Structure 1
Protein backbone atom coordinates (compact mmCIF):
# COMPACT_ATOMS: atom_id res chain seq x y z
CA UNK A 1 0.00 0.00 0.00
CA UNK A 2 1.47 3.35 -1.00
CA UNK A 3 1.46 6.45 1.18
CA UNK A 4 -1.31 8.15 -0.80
CA UNK A 5 -3.71 5.22 -0.45
CA UNK A 6 -2.85 4.85 3.26
CA UNK A 7 -3.65 8.53 3.87
CA UNK A 8 -6.89 8.28 1.89
CA UNK A 9 -8.10 5.32 3.94
CA UNK A 10 -7.10 6.90 7.25
CA UNK A 11 -9.03 10.06 6.35
CA UNK A 12 -12.10 8.01 5.47
CA UNK A 13 -11.87 6.18 8.80
CA UNK A 14 -11.75 9.49 10.65
CA UNK A 15 -14.74 10.74 8.65
CA UNK A 16 -16.70 7.56 9.35
CA UNK A 17 -16.01 7.77 13.09
CA UNK A 18 -17.27 11.35 13.17
CA UNK A 19 -20.33 10.50 11.09
CA UNK A 20 -21.09 7.49 13.28
CA UNK A 21 -21.12 9.60 16.44
CA UNK A 22 -23.39 12.18 14.75
CA UNK A 23 -25.88 9.58 13.56
CA UNK A 24 -26.05 7.57 16.78
CA UNK A 25 -26.37 10.71 18.88
CA UNK A 26 -29.19 12.02 16.70
CA UNK A 27 -31.22 8.80 16.84
CA UNK A 28 -30.27 7.91 20.45
CA UNK A 29 -29.82 4.23 19.68
CA UNK A 30 -27.36 1.89 17.97
CA UNK A 31 -24.05 0.17 18.68
CA UNK A 32 -21.03 2.49 18.88
CA UNK A 33 -18.38 0.26 20.49
CA UNK A 34 -18.25 -2.58 17.99
CA UNK A 35 -18.74 -0.24 15.05
CA UNK A 36 -15.69 1.81 16.03
CA UNK A 37 -13.53 -1.30 16.48
CA UNK A 38 -14.05 -2.56 12.91
CA UNK A 39 -13.79 0.81 11.11
CA UNK A 40 -10.40 0.16 9.51
CA UNK A 41 -11.33 -3.41 8.59
CA UNK A 42 -14.46 -2.41 6.68
CA UNK A 43 -12.89 0.66 5.09
CA UNK A 44 -9.84 -1.23 3.83
CA UNK A 45 -12.04 -3.92 2.33
CA UNK A 46 -14.44 -1.57 0.54
CA UNK A 47 -11.97 1.07 -0.61
CA UNK A 48 -8.83 -0.94 -1.32
CA UNK A 49 -9.52 -4.66 -1.62
CA UNK A 50 -12.98 -5.70 -2.74
CA UNK A 51 -14.23 -5.88 -6.31
CA UNK A 52 -17.82 -4.59 -6.24
CA UNK A 53 -20.12 -2.51 -8.44
CA UNK A 54 -22.44 -0.21 -6.46
CA UNK A 55 -24.42 0.50 -9.61
CA UNK A 56 -25.04 -3.25 -9.94
CA UNK A 57 -25.13 -4.69 -6.39
CA UNK A 58 -26.01 -8.18 -7.61
CA UNK A 59 -23.20 -8.38 -10.20
CA UNK A 60 -22.44 -12.10 -10.50
CA UNK A 61 -18.65 -11.85 -10.22
CA UNK A 62 -18.55 -9.49 -7.23
CA UNK A 63 -16.65 -10.06 -4.01
CA UNK A 64 -18.94 -10.41 -1.01
CA UNK A 65 -18.72 -9.19 2.57
CA UNK A 66 -20.63 -10.77 5.44
CA UNK A 67 -20.77 -8.74 8.63
CA UNK A 68 -21.38 -11.69 10.91
CA UNK A 69 -21.17 -9.38 13.95
CA UNK A 70 -24.29 -7.69 12.65
CA UNK A 71 -24.61 -5.15 15.48
CA UNK A 72 -21.80 -3.16 13.79
CA UNK A 73 -24.25 -2.36 10.97
CA UNK A 74 -23.87 1.45 11.35
CA UNK A 75 -20.24 1.29 10.21
CA UNK A 76 -21.16 -1.07 7.38
CA UNK A 77 -23.85 1.36 6.21
CA UNK A 78 -21.44 4.31 6.32
CA UNK A 79 -19.07 2.42 4.01
CA UNK A 80 -21.86 1.30 1.67
CA UNK A 81 -23.22 4.84 1.39
CA UNK A 82 -19.78 6.32 0.75
CA UNK A 83 -19.18 3.65 -1.88
CA UNK A 84 -22.44 4.64 -3.63
CA UNK A 85 -24.81 1.76 -2.87
CA UNK A 86 -27.46 4.19 -1.56
CA UNK A 87 -27.80 7.94 -0.82
CA UNK A 88 -25.84 9.23 2.17
CA UNK A 89 -28.81 11.25 3.42
CA UNK A 90 -30.65 7.98 4.06
CA UNK A 91 -28.21 7.24 6.88
CA UNK A 92 -30.28 9.58 9.05
CA UNK A 93 -33.10 7.00 8.95
CA UNK A 94 -31.02 4.32 10.69
CA UNK A 95 -33.19 2.14 12.99
CA UNK A 96 -36.27 4.24 12.28
CA UNK A 97 -39.69 2.78 11.51
CA UNK A 98 -39.98 1.99 7.81
CA UNK A 99 -36.29 2.48 7.05
CA UNK A 100 -34.36 -0.04 4.96
CA UNK A 101 -31.38 0.61 7.24
CA UNK A 102 -32.35 -1.67 10.07
CA UNK A 103 -30.47 -2.13 13.33
CA UNK A 104 -28.87 -5.25 11.89
CA UNK A 105 -28.13 -5.89 8.19
CA UNK A 106 -30.97 -7.22 6.03
CA UNK A 107 -30.19 -8.74 2.65
CA UNK A 108 -33.80 -8.26 1.50
CA UNK A 109 -33.90 -4.51 2.08
CA UNK A 110 -30.43 -2.94 1.85
CA UNK A 111 -28.33 -2.69 -1.34
CA UNK A 112 -24.86 -4.13 -0.79
CA UNK A 113 -25.81 -6.38 2.13
CA UNK A 114 -25.04 -10.02 1.31
CA UNK A 115 -26.53 -11.80 4.34
CA UNK A 116 -29.01 -10.91 7.07
CA UNK A 117 -27.07 -11.06 10.34
CA UNK A 118 -27.76 -10.36 13.97
CA UNK A 119 -28.08 -13.81 15.54
CA UNK A 120 -24.37 -14.48 16.11
CA UNK A 121 -22.48 -17.46 14.74
CA UNK A 122 -24.14 -17.74 11.33
CA UNK A 123 -21.86 -15.80 9.02
CA UNK A 124 -18.91 -18.13 8.58
CA UNK A 125 -20.98 -21.15 7.56
CA UNK A 126 -22.91 -19.01 5.07
CA UNK A 127 -19.67 -17.54 3.73
CA UNK A 128 -18.19 -20.98 3.16
CA UNK A 129 -21.38 -21.96 1.33
CA UNK A 130 -21.13 -18.87 -0.87
CA UNK A 131 -17.48 -19.66 -1.56
CA UNK A 132 -18.39 -23.18 -2.68
CA UNK A 133 -21.03 -21.70 -4.96
CA UNK A 134 -18.53 -19.30 -6.55
CA UNK A 135 -16.14 -22.20 -7.19
CA UNK A 136 -18.91 -24.18 -8.85
CA UNK A 137 -19.67 -21.21 -11.10
CA UNK A 138 -15.99 -20.82 -11.97
CA UNK A 139 -15.80 -17.31 -10.49
CA UNK A 140 -12.67 -16.03 -8.78
CA UNK A 141 -14.69 -13.95 -6.29
CA UNK A 142 -13.73 -13.75 -2.63
CA UNK A 143 -16.04 -13.84 0.38
CA UNK A 144 -14.91 -11.94 3.49
CA UNK A 145 -16.55 -12.79 6.81
CA UNK A 146 -16.09 -10.38 9.73
CA UNK A 147 -16.50 -12.13 13.07
CA UNK A 148 -16.62 -10.76 16.59
CA UNK A 149 -14.49 -12.40 19.28
CA UNK A 150 -17.50 -12.73 21.58
CA UNK A 151 -19.30 -14.28 18.64
CA UNK A 152 -16.79 -17.11 18.24
CA UNK A 153 -17.96 -18.51 21.58
CA UNK A 154 -20.83 -19.89 19.45
CA UNK A 155 -20.47 -23.57 18.58
CA UNK A 156 -21.72 -23.04 15.03
CA UNK A 157 -18.55 -21.09 14.26
CA UNK A 158 -16.40 -24.12 15.00
CA UNK A 159 -18.64 -26.41 12.97
CA UNK A 160 -18.07 -24.03 10.07
CA UNK A 161 -14.33 -24.00 10.79
CA UNK A 162 -14.28 -27.81 10.38
CA UNK A 163 -16.29 -27.57 7.15
CA UNK A 164 -13.92 -24.96 5.73
CA UNK A 165 -10.96 -27.18 6.46
CA UNK A 166 -12.70 -30.11 4.74
CA UNK A 167 -13.82 -28.27 1.61
CA UNK A 168 -10.74 -26.01 1.28
CA UNK A 169 -12.78 -22.96 0.37
CA UNK A 170 -9.73 -20.70 0.35
CA UNK A 171 -11.77 -18.05 -1.46
CA UNK A 172 -13.51 -17.39 1.86
CA UNK A 173 -11.38 -15.36 4.28
CA UNK A 174 -12.41 -14.90 7.90
CA UNK A 175 -11.47 -11.69 9.70
CA UNK A 176 -11.73 -11.59 13.49
CA UNK A 177 -12.42 -8.25 15.18
CA UNK A 178 -10.50 -9.21 18.29
CA UNK A 179 -11.33 -6.35 20.69
CA UNK A 180 -11.55 -8.47 23.85
CA UNK A 181 -14.91 -7.08 24.97
CA UNK A 182 -18.49 -8.25 24.47
CA UNK A 183 -21.97 -7.17 25.57
CA UNK A 184 -21.77 -8.00 29.28
CA UNK A 185 -18.05 -7.69 30.01
CA UNK A 186 -14.64 -8.74 28.77
CA UNK A 187 -14.20 -12.08 27.04
CA UNK A 188 -12.14 -13.25 30.00
CA UNK A 189 -15.04 -12.48 32.34
CA UNK A 190 -17.77 -14.03 30.20
CA UNK A 191 -16.15 -16.97 28.41
CA UNK A 192 -12.32 -17.07 28.18
CA UNK A 193 -11.10 -17.82 24.67
CA UNK A 194 -7.52 -18.72 25.57
CA UNK A 195 -5.06 -18.70 22.68
CA UNK A 196 -7.39 -17.86 19.82
CA UNK A 197 -4.78 -18.32 17.12
CA UNK A 198 -3.85 -21.77 18.42
CA UNK A 199 -7.52 -22.80 18.35
CA UNK A 200 -7.91 -21.88 14.69
CA UNK A 201 -4.58 -23.48 13.80
CA UNK A 202 -5.77 -26.69 15.50
CA UNK A 203 -8.73 -26.68 13.13
CA UNK A 204 -6.32 -26.61 10.19
CA UNK A 205 -6.54 -22.89 9.41
CA UNK A 206 -3.80 -20.53 8.30
CA UNK A 207 -3.60 -17.89 11.06
CA UNK A 208 -2.46 -14.34 10.30
CA UNK A 209 -2.35 -11.54 12.87
CA UNK A 210 -2.26 -7.77 12.46
CA UNK A 211 -3.07 -4.45 14.09
CA UNK A 212 -6.73 -3.99 13.19
CA UNK A 213 -6.43 -0.20 13.31
CA UNK A 214 -3.59 0.05 10.76
CA UNK A 215 -4.96 -0.07 7.23
CA UNK A 216 -1.62 -1.03 5.71
CA UNK A 217 -1.32 -4.07 8.01
CA UNK A 218 -4.87 -5.17 7.19
CA UNK A 219 -4.17 -4.92 3.46
CA UNK A 220 -0.94 -6.88 3.83
CA UNK A 221 -2.70 -9.58 5.86
CA UNK A 222 -5.41 -9.95 3.21
CA UNK A 223 -2.74 -10.28 0.51
CA UNK A 224 -1.11 -13.08 2.51
CA UNK A 225 -4.46 -14.80 2.99
CA UNK A 226 -5.24 -14.69 -0.72
CA UNK A 227 -1.83 -16.22 -1.48
CA UNK A 228 -2.63 -19.30 0.66
CA UNK A 229 -4.22 -21.89 -1.64
CA UNK A 230 -4.17 -25.00 0.57
CA UNK A 231 -5.65 -23.86 3.90
CA UNK A 232 -8.48 -21.60 4.95
CA UNK A 233 -7.19 -18.32 6.39
CA UNK A 234 -8.31 -16.25 9.35
CA UNK A 235 -6.91 -12.79 10.01
CA UNK A 236 -6.91 -11.97 13.71
CA UNK A 237 -7.14 -8.19 13.89
CA UNK A 238 -6.17 -6.84 17.30
CA UNK A 239 -8.56 -3.96 17.92
CA UNK A 240 -10.01 -1.75 20.64
CA UNK A 241 -13.75 -1.60 21.27
CA UNK A 242 -14.85 2.04 20.96
CA UNK A 243 -11.57 3.02 19.24
CA UNK A 244 -11.13 6.77 18.92
CA UNK A 245 -13.37 7.87 21.80
CA UNK A 246 -11.50 7.64 25.09
CA UNK A 247 -14.44 6.99 27.41
CA UNK A 248 -15.74 4.24 25.12
CA UNK A 249 -12.46 2.41 24.59
CA UNK A 250 -12.45 -1.07 26.12
CA UNK A 251 -15.81 -0.54 27.85
CA UNK A 252 -18.54 -3.12 27.44
CA UNK A 253 -21.11 -0.50 28.55
CA UNK A 254 -20.68 1.13 25.12
CA UNK A 255 -21.69 -1.99 23.23
CA UNK A 256 -25.14 -0.49 22.64
CA UNK A 257 -25.57 2.62 24.80
CA UNK A 258 -27.16 5.92 23.72
CA UNK A 259 -24.78 8.90 23.58
CA UNK A 260 -25.61 11.81 25.91
CA UNK A 261 -25.12 15.49 25.17
CA UNK A 262 -21.85 16.01 27.04
CA UNK A 263 -20.57 12.65 25.83
CA UNK A 264 -21.31 13.70 22.27
CA UNK A 265 -19.35 16.95 22.63
CA UNK A 266 -16.37 15.13 24.11
CA UNK A 267 -16.39 12.48 21.38
CA UNK A 268 -16.50 15.12 18.65
CA UNK A 269 -13.67 17.06 20.28
CA UNK A 270 -11.49 13.95 20.46
CA UNK A 271 -12.27 13.00 16.86
CA UNK A 272 -11.54 16.51 15.62
CA UNK A 273 -14.98 16.95 14.11
CA UNK A 274 -17.44 19.81 14.23
CA UNK A 275 -20.61 19.53 16.28
CA UNK A 276 -23.55 18.85 13.97
CA UNK A 277 -26.49 21.23 14.08
Structure 2
Protein backbone atom coordinates (compact mmCIF):
# COMPACT_ATOMS: atom_id res chain seq x y z
CA UNK A 1 0.00 0.00 0.00
CA UNK A 2 1.07 3.58 -0.62
CA UNK A 3 1.78 5.96 2.27
CA UNK A 4 -1.45 7.79 1.47
CA UNK A 5 -3.49 4.59 1.62
CA UNK A 6 -1.83 3.72 4.92
CA UNK A 7 -2.63 7.16 6.33
CA UNK A 8 -6.30 6.67 5.45
CA UNK A 9 -6.36 3.32 7.26
CA UNK A 10 -4.65 4.85 10.31
CA UNK A 11 -7.20 7.64 10.33
CA UNK A 12 -10.05 5.11 10.27
CA UNK A 13 -8.43 3.20 13.14
CA UNK A 14 -8.12 6.38 15.21
CA UNK A 15 -11.77 7.29 14.65
CA UNK A 16 -12.99 3.81 15.58
CA UNK A 17 -10.72 3.78 18.61
CA UNK A 18 -12.03 7.14 19.80
CA UNK A 19 -15.61 5.98 19.38
CA UNK A 20 -14.94 2.76 21.30
CA UNK A 21 -13.29 4.58 24.22
CA UNK A 22 -16.18 7.04 24.37
CA UNK A 23 -18.79 4.27 24.32
CA UNK A 24 -16.95 2.04 26.80
CA UNK A 25 -16.13 4.87 29.17
CA UNK A 26 -12.58 3.61 29.53
CA UNK A 27 -9.36 3.10 27.60
CA UNK A 28 -5.87 4.46 27.13
CA UNK A 29 -6.57 6.78 24.26
CA UNK A 30 -3.43 8.92 24.37
CA UNK A 31 -1.05 6.02 23.79
CA UNK A 32 -3.46 4.41 21.36
CA UNK A 33 -3.31 7.50 19.17
CA UNK A 34 0.50 7.57 19.30
CA UNK A 35 0.93 3.91 18.35
CA UNK A 36 -1.69 3.75 15.56
CA UNK A 37 0.59 4.67 12.66
CA UNK A 38 3.11 2.04 13.74
CA UNK A 39 0.46 -0.67 13.96
CA UNK A 40 -0.98 0.34 10.59
CA UNK A 41 2.38 0.13 8.85
CA UNK A 42 3.14 -3.24 10.43
CA UNK A 43 -0.14 -4.95 9.55
CA UNK A 44 -0.83 -3.36 6.18
CA UNK A 45 2.67 -3.02 4.77
CA UNK A 46 5.45 -4.84 6.60
CA UNK A 47 4.37 -8.07 8.26
CA UNK A 48 3.49 -11.32 6.56
CA UNK A 49 0.27 -12.34 8.34
CA UNK A 50 -2.92 -13.99 7.17
CA UNK A 51 -6.20 -13.50 9.08
CA UNK A 52 -7.45 -16.78 7.58
CA UNK A 53 -4.47 -18.61 9.13
CA UNK A 54 -3.63 -16.71 12.33
CA UNK A 55 -1.45 -19.55 13.65
CA UNK A 56 0.55 -20.12 10.46
CA UNK A 57 3.96 -21.28 11.74
CA UNK A 58 5.72 -19.08 9.19
CA UNK A 59 3.87 -15.86 10.07
CA UNK A 60 5.63 -12.77 11.32
CA UNK A 61 4.92 -11.95 14.98
CA UNK A 62 4.08 -8.70 16.75
CA UNK A 63 4.22 -8.38 20.51
CA UNK A 64 2.43 -5.28 21.77
CA UNK A 65 4.35 -4.94 25.01
CA UNK A 66 2.52 -1.72 25.93
CA UNK A 67 -0.57 -3.86 26.37
CA UNK A 68 -2.70 -1.09 27.86
CA UNK A 69 -3.16 0.19 24.30
CA UNK A 70 -4.88 -3.06 23.37
CA UNK A 71 -7.84 -1.28 21.81
CA UNK A 72 -5.66 0.14 19.03
CA UNK A 73 -4.47 -3.40 18.33
CA UNK A 74 -8.04 -4.76 18.33
CA UNK A 75 -9.20 -2.13 15.85
CA UNK A 76 -6.18 -2.82 13.64
CA UNK A 77 -6.84 -6.57 13.76
CA UNK A 78 -10.49 -5.94 12.89
CA UNK A 79 -9.54 -3.78 9.93
CA UNK A 80 -7.16 -6.50 8.77
CA UNK A 81 -9.86 -9.16 9.07
CA UNK A 82 -8.78 -11.14 12.14
CA UNK A 83 -11.98 -10.31 14.03
CA UNK A 84 -15.30 -8.76 12.90
CA UNK A 85 -15.32 -4.96 12.87
CA UNK A 86 -18.68 -5.09 14.64
CA UNK A 87 -17.03 -6.76 17.62
CA UNK A 88 -15.19 -3.55 18.54
CA UNK A 89 -18.50 -2.36 20.02
CA UNK A 90 -18.12 -5.02 22.73
CA UNK A 91 -14.85 -3.56 24.09
CA UNK A 92 -14.73 -3.99 27.90
CA UNK A 93 -18.30 -5.24 28.08
CA UNK A 94 -19.17 -8.30 30.22
CA UNK A 95 -18.08 -11.57 28.56
CA UNK A 96 -16.33 -9.72 25.72
CA UNK A 97 -13.03 -11.19 24.61
CA UNK A 98 -11.78 -7.64 23.97
CA UNK A 99 -10.38 -6.94 27.41
CA UNK A 100 -8.30 -3.99 28.56
CA UNK A 101 -5.15 -5.98 27.81
CA UNK A 102 -4.69 -8.44 24.93
CA UNK A 103 -5.20 -12.17 25.49
CA UNK A 104 -3.75 -14.63 22.98
CA UNK A 105 -6.13 -17.43 23.98
CA UNK A 106 -9.17 -15.32 23.10
CA UNK A 107 -8.29 -12.97 20.24
CA UNK A 108 -6.92 -14.24 16.90
CA UNK A 109 -3.79 -12.36 15.92
CA UNK A 110 -2.65 -11.63 19.48
CA UNK A 111 0.70 -13.37 19.98
CA UNK A 112 1.10 -13.11 23.75
CA UNK A 113 -0.68 -11.66 26.77
CA UNK A 114 0.77 -8.30 27.75
CA UNK A 115 0.07 -5.62 30.30
CA UNK A 116 2.70 -5.91 33.03
CA UNK A 117 5.30 -3.62 31.48
CA UNK A 118 8.74 -4.96 30.64
CA UNK A 119 7.55 -8.45 29.67
CA UNK A 120 6.98 -8.11 25.94
CA UNK A 121 10.56 -7.68 24.78
CA UNK A 122 11.87 -10.70 26.73
CA UNK A 123 9.09 -12.82 25.20
CA UNK A 124 9.93 -11.48 21.73
CA UNK A 125 13.60 -12.37 22.25
CA UNK A 126 12.50 -15.94 22.95
CA UNK A 127 10.39 -16.00 19.80
CA UNK A 128 13.23 -14.66 17.67
CA UNK A 129 15.67 -17.16 19.16
CA UNK A 130 13.24 -19.99 18.36
CA UNK A 131 13.08 -18.89 14.72
CA UNK A 132 16.86 -18.68 14.61
CA UNK A 133 17.26 -22.19 16.04
CA UNK A 134 14.77 -23.58 13.51
CA UNK A 135 16.34 -21.76 10.59
CA UNK A 136 13.03 -20.01 9.89
CA UNK A 137 12.80 -16.67 8.09
CA UNK A 138 9.86 -15.11 9.94
CA UNK A 139 10.45 -11.87 11.80
CA UNK A 140 9.53 -10.67 15.27
CA UNK A 141 8.46 -7.12 16.09
CA UNK A 142 7.80 -5.71 19.53
CA UNK A 143 6.40 -2.31 20.47
CA UNK A 144 7.22 -0.82 23.85
CA UNK A 145 6.48 2.57 25.33
CA UNK A 146 9.31 4.88 26.29
CA UNK A 147 8.19 4.94 29.93
CA UNK A 148 8.21 1.16 29.80
CA UNK A 149 11.91 1.23 28.94
CA UNK A 150 12.53 2.15 32.58
CA UNK A 151 11.95 -1.54 33.36
CA UNK A 152 15.21 -3.41 33.91
CA UNK A 153 13.91 -6.56 32.23
CA UNK A 154 14.02 -4.75 28.90
CA UNK A 155 17.73 -4.06 29.21
CA UNK A 156 18.45 -7.68 30.12
CA UNK A 157 16.55 -8.68 26.99
CA UNK A 158 18.48 -6.12 24.94
CA UNK A 159 21.75 -7.67 26.13
CA UNK A 160 20.53 -11.19 25.31
CA UNK A 161 19.31 -10.24 21.83
CA UNK A 162 22.71 -8.79 20.96
CA UNK A 163 24.50 -11.84 22.38
CA UNK A 164 22.33 -14.16 20.26
CA UNK A 165 22.75 -11.94 17.15
CA UNK A 166 18.97 -11.83 16.60
CA UNK A 167 18.83 -9.92 13.33
CA UNK A 168 15.23 -11.18 12.91
CA UNK A 169 14.10 -9.02 15.86
CA UNK A 170 12.97 -5.40 15.63
CA UNK A 171 12.17 -3.36 18.73
CA UNK A 172 10.00 -0.30 18.11
CA UNK A 173 9.94 2.25 20.93
CA UNK A 174 6.86 4.47 20.91
CA UNK A 175 8.73 7.56 22.13
CA UNK A 176 5.85 9.91 22.96
CA UNK A 177 7.71 11.36 25.97
CA UNK A 178 4.80 10.79 28.36
CA UNK A 179 3.81 8.05 30.77
CA UNK A 180 1.01 7.68 33.28
CA UNK A 181 0.82 10.86 35.32
CA UNK A 182 4.06 12.51 34.21
CA UNK A 183 6.62 13.16 31.55
CA UNK A 184 9.28 10.49 31.13
CA UNK A 185 11.92 13.19 31.60
CA UNK A 186 10.52 13.97 35.05
CA UNK A 187 10.26 10.34 36.15
CA UNK A 188 13.41 8.54 35.02
CA UNK A 189 14.88 10.32 32.05
CA UNK A 190 16.08 7.87 29.41
CA UNK A 191 16.76 10.38 26.68
CA UNK A 192 18.57 10.09 24.44
CA UNK A 193 17.47 6.49 24.00
CA UNK A 194 19.18 5.67 20.70
CA UNK A 195 22.83 5.76 21.84
CA UNK A 196 22.01 3.70 24.94
CA UNK A 197 20.53 0.85 22.90
CA UNK A 198 23.28 1.14 20.29
CA UNK A 199 25.89 0.73 23.03
CA UNK A 200 24.53 -2.77 23.66
CA UNK A 201 25.34 -3.82 20.10
CA UNK A 202 22.08 -3.06 18.32
CA UNK A 203 21.47 -1.30 15.03
CA UNK A 204 19.41 1.78 15.86
CA UNK A 205 17.39 4.16 13.69
CA UNK A 206 15.39 7.21 14.75
CA UNK A 207 12.30 8.21 12.80
CA UNK A 208 9.17 10.33 12.84
CA UNK A 209 6.68 7.77 14.11
CA UNK A 210 3.83 9.48 12.27
CA UNK A 211 5.50 9.58 8.85
CA UNK A 212 4.41 6.49 6.91
CA UNK A 213 7.30 6.66 4.46
CA UNK A 214 9.83 6.72 7.28
CA UNK A 215 8.07 3.96 9.24
CA UNK A 216 7.83 1.59 6.27
CA UNK A 217 11.42 2.19 5.26
CA UNK A 218 12.72 1.63 8.80
CA UNK A 219 10.82 -1.67 9.12
CA UNK A 220 11.86 -3.06 5.73
CA UNK A 221 14.05 -6.21 5.91
CA UNK A 222 16.72 -4.67 3.68
CA UNK A 223 17.43 -2.04 6.34
CA UNK A 224 18.53 -4.65 8.90
CA UNK A 225 22.15 -5.60 9.53
CA UNK A 226 23.32 -9.20 9.61
CA UNK A 227 24.00 -10.35 13.15
CA UNK A 228 22.40 -7.35 14.85
CA UNK A 229 18.91 -6.83 16.26
CA UNK A 230 17.33 -3.54 15.22
CA UNK A 231 15.75 -0.82 17.33
CA UNK A 232 13.53 1.86 15.81
CA UNK A 233 13.08 4.87 18.07
CA UNK A 234 9.81 6.30 16.78
CA UNK A 235 9.27 9.89 17.87
CA UNK A 236 5.52 10.24 18.34
CA UNK A 237 2.91 12.39 20.07
CA UNK A 238 0.54 11.13 22.70
CA UNK A 239 -2.99 11.87 21.48
CA UNK A 240 -1.80 12.30 17.89
CA UNK A 241 -4.50 13.60 15.54
CA UNK A 242 -6.67 15.30 18.17
CA UNK A 243 -5.59 18.80 19.10
CA UNK A 244 -6.56 18.93 22.76
CA UNK A 245 -5.11 15.47 23.47
CA UNK A 246 -1.78 15.94 21.71
CA UNK A 247 1.23 15.87 24.07
CA UNK A 248 -1.13 16.15 27.05
CA UNK A 249 -0.35 13.80 29.94
CA UNK A 250 -3.95 14.00 31.19
CA UNK A 251 -5.05 11.84 28.25
CA UNK A 252 -3.16 8.72 29.29
CA UNK A 253 -6.48 7.12 30.22
CA UNK A 254 -8.94 10.01 30.31
CA UNK A 255 -12.31 9.51 28.60
CA UNK A 256 -13.73 12.26 26.37
CA UNK A 257 -17.12 13.76 27.16
CA UNK A 258 -19.66 14.20 24.37
CA UNK A 259 -18.35 17.58 23.27
CA UNK A 260 -14.75 16.36 23.22
CA UNK A 261 -15.77 13.19 21.38
CA UNK A 262 -17.51 15.19 18.66
CA UNK A 263 -14.59 17.59 18.33
CA UNK A 264 -12.12 14.72 18.11
CA UNK A 265 -14.15 12.93 15.45
CA UNK A 266 -14.48 16.15 13.48
CA UNK A 267 -10.74 16.76 13.55
CA UNK A 268 -9.96 13.21 12.48
CA UNK A 269 -12.52 13.34 9.67
CA UNK A 270 -10.94 16.54 8.36
CA UNK A 271 -7.39 15.18 8.66
CA UNK A 272 -7.23 13.69 5.17
CA UNK A 273 -9.78 15.88 3.40
Q: TM-score, normalised by structure 2?
A: 0.96
Q: CA RMSD in A?
A: 1.2
The answer to whether the Cα contact below 8 Å between 1:225 and 1:233 also exists between their aligned partners in 2 is no
Deviations 1:122-157 (A, max 9, x none): 111110100111122221000000010000000000
Deviations 1:44-83 (A, max 9, x none): 0000010011111100000000000001111111110111
The answer to whether the Cα contact below 8 Å between 1:40 and 1:213 also exists between their aligned partners in 2 is yes
Partner of 2:63: 66
Aligned residues: 270
Match of 2:205 among 199, 203, 208: 208
SS at match of 2:19: helix
Partner of 2:12: 15
Match of 1:163 among 160, 164, 189: 160
Match of 2:135 among 134, 138, 159: 138
Report deviation, 1:224. 6.2
Which whole-Å CA distance do the structure 1 matches of 2:68 and 2:178 have between them? 14
Report deviation, 1:194. 2.7
Partner of 1:122: 119
Matches within 5 A, 1:1-277: 5-223=2-220, 226-272=223-269
After TM superposition, the runs of 4+ consecutive aligned structure 1 residues lying more than 4 A away are none
Which whole-Å CA distance do the structure 1 matches of 2:168 and 2:187 have between them? 32
Deviations 1:1-40 (A, max 9, x none): xxx6111101001111111111111111111000000111
Report deviation, 1:195. 1.5
The answer to whether the Cα contact below 8 Å between 1:171 and 1:226 also exists between their aligned partners in 2 is no
Task: Go from structure 1 to structure 2 and tell me whether the alpha carbon gap of 1:202 and 1:225 turns closer, same or farther (over 3 Å shift).
Answer: farther
Q: TM-score, normalised by structure 1?
A: 0.95
Which whole-Å CA distance do the structure 1 matches of 2:231 and 2:39 have between them? 15
Which whole-Å CA distance do the structure 1 matches of 2:150 and 2:161 have between them? 18
The answer to whether the Cα contact below 8 Å between 2:167 and 2:224 also exists between their aligned partners in 1 is no
Structure 2 gap ranges (5+): none
Structure 1 gap ranges (5+): none
SS at match of 1:248: coil
Which whole-Å CA distance do the structure 1 matches of 2:223 and 2:64 have between them? 19
Which whole-Å CA distance do the structure 2 matches of 1:8 and 1:40 have between them? 12
SS at match of 1:58: coil
SS at match of 1:38: helix
